[in-house]
Amino acid sequence: MKTNILIVAVLVLSVLLSACGGPTTINQAAQPPVRSVSVSGLGEVSLSPDVAFIYLGVHTEDASASTAVAANNVQTQEVIEALQNFGIDTKDIRTTNFSIWPSQNYSPEGLPLDIRYVVDNTVYVTVRDLDNLGELLDVVISAGVNTVNSIQFDVADKKEALRDARADAVKNAQAQARELADAAGVELGEIQSISYYDSVPYPMFDGKGGGGGGAAEAAVPIQPGQLTLSVTVSITYAIK
């Protein structure tokens, strides 16, 4: 009787294991890990900037909000006309900020005095003729600009330069991989993965200033310098 019960129990357990997919197989052949080597290559291309982006601001203050706004509007319109007369296309002139707020003045003793209203109007300008950039700044400051923020230089079309930098980075990585394989006495196999990262810095000219100080800086020739595009490529090879 006990033997029959044991047989039935074994059969039930077998059915349950079969329904659950059976026990985990532990005698499967373990796959050897794939041996690999990873390298990173660098490619760089230097270009001369051919475009600049400038934030030009008009800042006005008055005890009357409406007077401050009116004065700012007139001054900003004169700046825009000066830009257009200089040859800047309308599509390259864009207002990015207009703000007005009250500013409380205080005496040296800390007592509240009059309230003045501050108005700021900022225009974002794309300059495509860098040879006359210094002259342009002089013109707009004379027209009413009293805040010149950072000037950012760039290259309008970087596609070909980046393509060349990526190709150089791949060649650099391949050379490193072959060098390591030779030193280790192994052979390179198939490429397992490739990834890359583009780095495009933007040369900056800190032209912040206002009034006479801004005009003095604008009179100084501005040198855009060089823009260096760099690409890092990471490649993983199987090794034999």
59 residue type, one letter: H
The phi and psi torsions of 239 (rounded to 5 degrees) equal -120, 145
pTM here is 0.67
Structure confidence at residue 213 (pLDDT)? 40
Report the residue count for the chain.
240
Distant-in-sequence, close-in-space partners of 228: CB < 8 Å, separation ≥ 6: 44, 45, 46, 47, 201
Percent of the chain with pLDDT over 70: 79
Structure confidence at residue 21 (pLDDT)? 52
pLDDT digits 0-9 by tens, 80-105: 999 999 999 999 999 999 999 999 88
**Residue range 124-144: average pLDDT?**
93
Concatenate the DSSP letters of all residues of 44-108 into one string.
Answer: EEEE---EEEEEEEEEEEESSHHHHHHHHHHHHHHHHHHHHHHT--GGGEEEEEEEEEEEEEE-T
pLDDT digits 0-9 by tens, 163-198: 999 999 999 999 999 999 999 999 999 999 999 999
